[in-house]
Amino acid sequence: MTQSDIADRAATAPQTAVISVTDAGIRYRRNRRARRNFKDLFSARARKTRPGEFWALRHVTFDVQPGEAIGVVGRNGQGKSTLLKLVAEVVLPDEGRVGVRGGVAPLIEITGGFVNDLSVRENVYLTAGLHGMKRAEIQARFDEIIEFAEIGDFLDTPYKHLSSGMKVRIAFAVVSRLEEPIILVDEVLAVGDRAFKEKCYNRIEELLAGGRTLFIVSHSEKDLRRFCSRGLYLDKGELVLDAPIADVLDRYNADYGVK
Ligand SMILES: Nc1ncnc2c1ncn2[C@@H]1O[C@H](COP(=O)(O)OP(=O)(O)OP(=O)(O)O)[C@@H](O)[C@H]1O
C-alpha cells in the first residue's frame, strides 16, 4: 500500500471499528549489536531494512468490530504476540497504521505490567490505577480480585517471589476486572492449573456476553473454538487468512497439522 492508500483506508474504515490495522509492519533486530543509532531515527535510511533486521510482521491489514472474539493462530515465532503488542500499543508500527478506539486490558506477558519488587497488594493498586480505576473503586473490588486469584496469603509478598501460576492468577484476576472494552489474552493461561483455567474461561465468557472485544492467542484448538468467531492466521509475519475460526483452523491444520 502507498502512503495515500493507507490514509484513504484510515479515512474510510468503518466508523464502528474498535481496532483498525492498516498495512502494519514491525521490524526487529536479530542481533542486539545491529542497533539503530539516534541519527538513523531521523534519516530516510532508517526505513530500509538493515543487516540483522527482519520483519516480524508485515503488510497486516484488518478491522475489528466491537464484541468480536478473535483467535490468532500460527506456529511459534510467526508474529502472534507481536500482533497483540501492536494492538495493546506497547510497540509502535515501523510501517502502516494501528488505530485503537477505547482502552485495552492486556494479559500479554506473564509479568506484563506487574512490577517485580512491589507486593501483590501494591501491584493490584498500580495496575488498576493505571487503567483509570479510582482508589475507592479498587478498594471496593480488592477482596473480590484476591478471592478470584486465591492467593490471599501472599498479599504482601513481592510479585517476583510468586510461582508462575500464581503470577498469572493475580494478573488475570486484575486484568479481567478492568472496565476496558478490549481484552487481550496471550497464551499466559497455559500455566494455570485446570481448575483455575476453567474459572478464567468462564470469566472470559461473561466478558464476551457483556459485549467486550477479545483477542486471544492460543495453541489450543478447543479453546479457540470455544470463544472465537473469527480467526487470524499468521505465517512468516504475514496475515495469510482472516476468516471464520473453523475455516482458519482447517487451513492451519492442513498446512501444519499432525497427519
Ligand atoms: N523484542 C524483540 N526483539 C527482537 N526480536 C523479537 C522481539 N520480540 C519478538 N521477536 C521475534 O519476532 C518474531 C515473532 O515473535 P512473536 O513472539 O510475535 O511470535 P509468536 O507467533 O507469538 O510465537 P510463539 O507461538 O512462540 O509465542 C520471532 O522471530 C521473535 O524472535
Task: Give backbone dihedrals phi and psi of 59, rounded to 5 degrees, phi first.
Answer: 55, 40
pLDDT, mean of residues 140-150: 94
Tally of structural domains, the chain: 1
Distance CA 183, CA 191 (A): 19
Grid cell for residue 169: 492468577
C-alpha span between 65 and 114 (Å, rounded): 29
122: CATH: 3.40.50.300
What is the span of the domain harbouring residue 126? 67-91+102-256
Whether 112 is in a domain gets the answer yes
Q: What percent of the chain has pLDDT over 70?
A: 87
Sequence-ordered list of residues with C-beta below 8 angstroms from that of 219, at least 6 positions apart, any chain:
73, 187, 190
Tell me whether residue 172 is in a domain.
Answer: yes
CA distance 83 to 104: 14
76 lines ligand 1 (CB under 6 A): yes
pLDDT, one tens digit per residue, over 227-249 is 999 999 999 999 999 999 999 99
Distance, CA of 125 to CA of 138 (rounded, Å): 7
Is residue 190 a part of any domain in this protein?
Answer: yes
Q: How far is the CA of 178 from the centre of ligand 1 (A)?
A: 27
- The pairs formed by 74-80 with CB atoms below 8 angstroms and a separation of 24 or more are 74/233, 74/234, 74/235, 74/252, 75/235, 75/256, 78/234, 78/235, 78/236, 78/237, 79/26, 79/234, 79/237, 80/186, 80/217, 80/234
Judge whether 233 lies within some domain. Answer: yes
Tens-place pLDDT, residues 34-46: 455 555 555 544 5
Residue 144 dihedral angles phi and psi, to the nearest 5°:
-65, -40
Ligand 1 centroid–CA 206 distance in Å is 30
Higher pLDDT, 22 or 52: 22
Separation of alpha carbons 24 and 59, rounded Å: 5
Q: Is residue 221 part of a domain?
A: yes
Cell output for 116: 517485580
Mutate to test the pocket of ligand 1, among 82, 185, 239, 240 (most ligand atoms within 8 A of CB): 82
Is residue 77 within 6 Å of ligand 1 at its C-beta?
A: yes
Instruction: Decide if 7 is inside a domain.
Output: no
Interface predicted TM-score (ipTM): 0.97
